[in-house]
Amino acid sequence: MSPSQSFMARLGDRLVANGYSILPIAPGTKKPGRFLKGAWGDYPQWTRHAGRATTELEISTWSQWPDAGIGVVGGHVAAIDIDIVDDHDLAARLEQLCRQRLGDTPALRIGRAPRRLLVYRTLEPFKGIRRHPLEILCLGQQFVAYAVHPETGKDYVWPDESLADIDIERLPVIDEAGARAFLEEAAALIPDALRPARLASREAADSASLAGHAQAGTLPAIRAALAFLANADLDYDSWVRIGLALKGALGEQGADMFAVWSAQAAKNDPAFTAKTWAGFKPRSIGAGTIYHLAIEHGWRPEPELVFDGAAPADPVHPAAGMLAQIRSPDSAQAPAARAMPVILPPPGLERLDGALALMVRHILATAIRPQPWLAVGASLVALGAVMGRKVRTPSNLRSNLYVLGIAESGGGKDHARKAIKEIFVRAGLSAHLGGERIASGAGLITALSRQPSSLFQIDEFGRFMANVVDKRRAPKHLSEIWDLFMELATSAGTTFFGAEYADQRERPRQDIVEPCACVHGVSAPGPFWEALSSGALQDGSLARFLVFRSDEDIPDRNRDAALMAPPADLLEAVQAVANVGAERSTGNLSRTGGAIANPDPLTVPMSDAAQALFHELDEEMTKRQRAALGTNQSAVLARIWENAAKIALIKAVSANPAAPVIRRVDAQWACEVVEHSAWTLLVQAERHLADNDVERAHKRILAFVREAGLSGVRHNELTRKAQFVEPRLRREIIQSLLESEQIVAHPMRSRGRPATLYRVAG
């Protein structure tokens, strides 16, 4: 099957249009896959699709993958999987009971008959439930919708209606309580021969139990696995084996769990269960047995679960409370100000509309290596420039933004800059494009005097900053560029007064009324962080930038990318944004006039719901700032509310330039953008900013250990990675990390010889 004929290419966009979240299925399997470097492989991060809608870019990319099948992500849909292998009558009776109890769904899928699957809708997603051979697939799971069945070699079929033709709203709604009630009733119809009366043979389970895990387990992982091992009157040997495995995995912590699990059986005797538990003395059985059996019965562990109770636990991030409180403003207790925040995924593109959506779509369609998050940042600052001096929030904030896009070299970070330049030229807005190189502070002011609302797009921004930030080394005409950027950032709602020179006749003062200087820089991470010291974060200069860090440095190549002119609807939308509020002005004021003209911008109102959201954000950020005084977080927190309001303004004007209103959806999305960017800045700065070479080496070696995760990194491998550091200094840094308890050392044996494994402490 050629890419153009794959299930994904033929049906993917129809499923998404009908409201389903989908993902690619590797050919010949039932599991999600990725096609990278010419071969299909596993897709361990597929669960990230559960929390958001599928994007057009994803459909376009997956449609190029050969023989890509389609899976549907559980959550807003739930599927009843009737896994009856040989008994056609029983399978039909269970289907009929399902339709009677849960609703007569039009969505029936047959893989290998008589097995069948019925699809429903949920209003409140719930985790999947299994009662072998029946299962309800929902949150955290997926099912194959279109593919070639790996056992029959034939296509999955939808005998009634194809799911691609069924709008999700047509599916009957079910909830967890109804689903569980159906399973209990259906389980009574299952003959004993099909029940899992014995979980597995001792030899098979024991050999697998110790292959991948230590005997000790963790409470969350054991609890999740045990949910898939129903105690439907199991035989005595199986019951004892589970008890032994639980005690081996959790010790006495497992007693209550064993009691509750045993109580599922009608023949359970609580006193006998407690007595038997007390007599268990497991020696070579534990967590691995539970995990192995659960996986055989359909368990698909959540990616964040930690399995090995003997390994250092995955640390609870010290800023977990910080994020929870930002989302729950009524919480009274504030976390420690010095905690580094957790970076949540960036908000999806599905909430974009108007010129912003069209611009992002065009940038991604023409990119060889699409970078969606970087395209969002570039589009925001570009639209902020064209509407500059024409709109403001009720609190007089303007649309001037400083955006930094970071990705590794060769990852496509520069494409958005080029695409925006072409859009401006084609739309007749090239006057808003400032120079791509700024030679001096005086040159920057001259450019803004010519067009007070200008977009400065700077490639290799890290190298640019290396030339202008360090006042001790940079010539004055360069260092003043950085100072001016900082001053201009807070001058958009007032008049910027230029420098006074002795010879006023030759060099008169240059004043600019309400300048809207917008900066879009792109850089590889290494040169950018090497150009800065911790002072850039403390003095607030770096805090003015919204950092858009690529979540995939080298994305898949877009094989459909081609040179194409910006579409007419995009150009019209950008022109409409540039003309916002024009009907209120006369003469040259409709185009914002020159540097000394008073632009009289339109005040864009804010809905009550949006106002309430920003009030909550203001209160929370005020608490955070007070708690963070004296730390690197303080300056960043001080800009969150301001930048969120600016982005909400830009999104609102983009959506409806004729009558813009900042809606709650604009405010919510803007807050998520700024939160993600601010946390990215703080975490990346903590890991990379250094004031000298020794501190920089210290942070890089710690990063190597952190990147190894729970698997750890061996001493010889860490030495090889840190060859850039002189051996004596390298030993001192590792010893310092151990003494400060930032990393821990675990003795081990490698090929019979002693070795050391390093992990991040937690």
d(CA 328, CA 679): 18
**Collapsing DSSP states into helix, strand and coil, what is residue 713?**
strand
Q: Which amino acid is at 47?
A: T
* Encoded amino acid at 218, one letter: T
Q: Looking at residue 325, what is its pLDDT?
A: 38
Q: Can you tell me whether residue 728 is helix, strand or coil?
A: helix
Question: Which residues have a Cβ under 8 Å from the Cβ of 598 and sit 6 or more positions away?
Answer: 513, 514, 589
For residue 206, the model assigns a pLDDT of 37
| φ, ψ for residue 547, nearest 5 deg | -95, 120
Residues 726-749 have a mean pLDDT of 81
pLDDT above 50 for 207: no
Please give the Cα distance from 363 to 444 (Å, whole number).
28
Candidates 355, 387, 383; CA nearest to 592 is 387
Backbone dihedral angles phi then psi of residue 679, each to the nearest 5 degrees: -65, -35
- Own/partner contacts of 234-237, CB < 8 Å, gap of 24 or more, are 234/196, 234/197, 234/198, 234/199, 234/265, 235/197, 235/198, 237/198, 237/202
Other C-beta atoms closer than 10 Å to the C-beta of 189 total: 12
CA distance 483 to 230: 67
Q: How high is the pLDDT of residue 726?
A: 86
pLDDT, mean of residues 522-540: 76
DSSP 23: E
- Other Cβ atoms less than 10 A from the Cβ of 37: the count is 7
Can you tell me which residue has the tokens 């939160």? 675
Q: How many CA atoms lie within 13 A of 533 on its CB side?
A: 11
Distance CA 266, CA 234 (A): 10
Report the amino acid identity of residue 439: A
**Beta pairing, strands 602-603 & 545-549:** unpaired
Could you read off the pLDDT of 183-192 as tens digits, one per residue?
989 988 888 7
- Reported as a pLDDT band with limits 50, 70 and 90, residue 628 is confident
Q: Which residues pair with 496 in a beta bridge?
A: 512
Q: Using 50, 70 and 90 to split pLDDT, how confident is the model at 310? A: low
* CA–CA distance, 469 with 485 (Å, rounded to integer): 11
Question: What pLDDT does 197 receive?
Answer: 47
Would the CA dihedral through 260, 266, 272, 278 be positive or negative? negative
Helices first, then strands: H and E counts in the chain = 26, 22
For 689-717, what is the mean pLDDT?
80
Question: What are 206's two structure tokens?
Answer: 């024991």
Give the three-class secondary structure for 229.
Answer: coil
The per-residue pLDDT for 321 is: 36
Question: Which of 62-66, 417-421, 433-437, 502-506 is predicted least confidently?
Answer: 502-506
| Tokens linked to 20 | 């389903």
Phi, psi angle pair for 669, to nearest 5°? -65, -40
> What is residue 560's predicted lDDT score, i.e. its pLDDT?
78
Task: Say if CB 333 and CB 167 are below 8 A apart.
Answer: no
What per-residue string of b and e applies to 432-444 under the rule 16 or more CB within 10 Å gives b? bbbeeebeebbeb
> What's the pLDDT band for 722 if we cut at 50, 70, 90?
confident
Distances (CA, A) of 244 to 213, 214, 258, 332, 702: 16, 15, 10, 44, 40
Give pLDDT tens digits for 318-349: 333 333 433 333 333 333 334 555 566 788 78
Average pLDDT over residues 74-78: 94
Beta pairing partners, 39? 36
pLDDT value at residue 548:
94
More confident residue, 689 or 71: 71
Largest CA distance in the chain: 102
Rg of the chain in Å (alpha carbons): 30
Whole-angstrom distance, CA of residue 577 vs CA of residue 356 = 10
**Token pair of 557, please?**
């190549």
Distance CA 578, CA 653 (A): 10
- For the segment 76-105, the average pLDDT, to the nearest whole number, is 94
Closest among 32, 95, 105 to 69, alpha carbons compared: 32
Q: Assess contact for 680 and 547: CB atoms under 8 A.
A: yes
Instruction: Of 2-6, 105-109, 409-413, 686-690, give the lowest mean pLDDT range.
Output: 2-6
Other Cβ atoms less than 10 A from the Cβ of 85: the count is: 11
Q: 């504030």: which residue's tokens?
A: 334
Least reliable range by pLDDT among 46-60, 399-413, 528-542, 702-716: 528-542
Residue type, 556: D
Name the least confident of 41-55, 115-129, 376-390, 434-448: 41-55
The predicted structure's pLDDT at residue 350: 84
Backbone angles phi, psi at 241, to 5 degrees: -60, -40
> When comparing pLDDT for 713 and 583, which is higher?
713
The first and second tokens of residue 375, run together, are 């395209």
Count the residues in the chain: 762
Q: 3-class DSSP state for residue 129?
A: strand
The whole-angstrom separation of Cα 555 and Cα 371 is 7
Distance between CA atoms of residues 501 and 70, nearest Å:
68
Work out the mean pLDDT of the chain and round it to a whole number.
Answer: 83
Mean pLDDT across 34-41: 86
pLDDT at position 660: 96
What count of Cα atoms within 13 Å lies in the side-chain half-sphere of residue 99?
Answer: 12
Torsion from C-alpha of 579, 584, 587, 591, nearest 10 degrees: -30
Higher-confidence residue of 561 and 354: namely 354
CB 288 within 8 A of CB 308: no
Percent of the chain with pLDDT over 90: 43
Q: Three-state SS for 515? A: coil
Q: Higher model confidence: residue 557 or residue 71?
A: 71
The answer to whether 187 and 232 have CB atoms below 8 angstroms apart is yes
For residues 119-123, average pLDDT: 96
Tokens, residue 146 = 């279109």
What does the pLDDT look like over 649-683, one tens digit per residue? 999 999 999 999 999 999 999 999 998 898 888 88
Q: Look at residue 538 and tell me whether its pLDDT is greater than 50.
A: yes
